[in-house]
Amino acid sequence: MLYSSLLASVIGLPLSDVLGNYNGLRMGTQEVTRWGMLPENMPVVAELLCRVLVDGEESESVKGDVVAYREMDTPCGSLLSR
């Protein structure tokens, strides 16, 4: 995800230990909130994340779509392009 413009960090959760002691993934929810994203924006955000984390698509190839989505006229449109 390094070059995809998608932000996430690992976080320990109060669950059974896992290798590296990180059993959670924290998404940049503060940013999507600050940008004004709404629940109806989340399927697109999830699809972009899935392309990198599940499908193994190269981060650089997803970045253009992330940037394009941020610049689109969505419910959060003008806030995303700042």
Is 39 buried (19+), middle (13-18) or exposed (0-12) by CB count in 10 A?
A: exposed
What does the pLDDT look like over 21-78, one tens digit per residue? 667 777 766 677 777 788 888 888 889 888 988 899 988 888 888 888 887 755 554 4
**Residue 28 forms part of a structural domain:** yes
Q: Which two tokens stand for residue 10?
A: 């690992």
pLDDT beyond 70 at 20? no
Residue 68 lies in a domain: yes
Number of domains making up the chain: 1
Task: Please check whether residue 1 lies inside any domain of the structure.
Answer: no
Q: Model pTM?
A: 0.64
**47 lies in some domain:** yes
Q: Is 45 part of a structural domain of the chain?
A: yes
Residue range of the domain that includes 63: 8-80
pLDDT of the residue at 55: 93
Name residues whose C-beta falls within 8 Å of residue 20's C-beta, 6 or more positions apart in sequence.
Answer: 10
On whether residue 55 sits in a domain, the answer given is yes
Looking at residue 32, its pLDDT comes to 74
Residue 51 lies in a domain: yes
Whether 80 shows a pLDDT value over 60: the answer reads no
Q: 15 lies in a domain?
A: yes
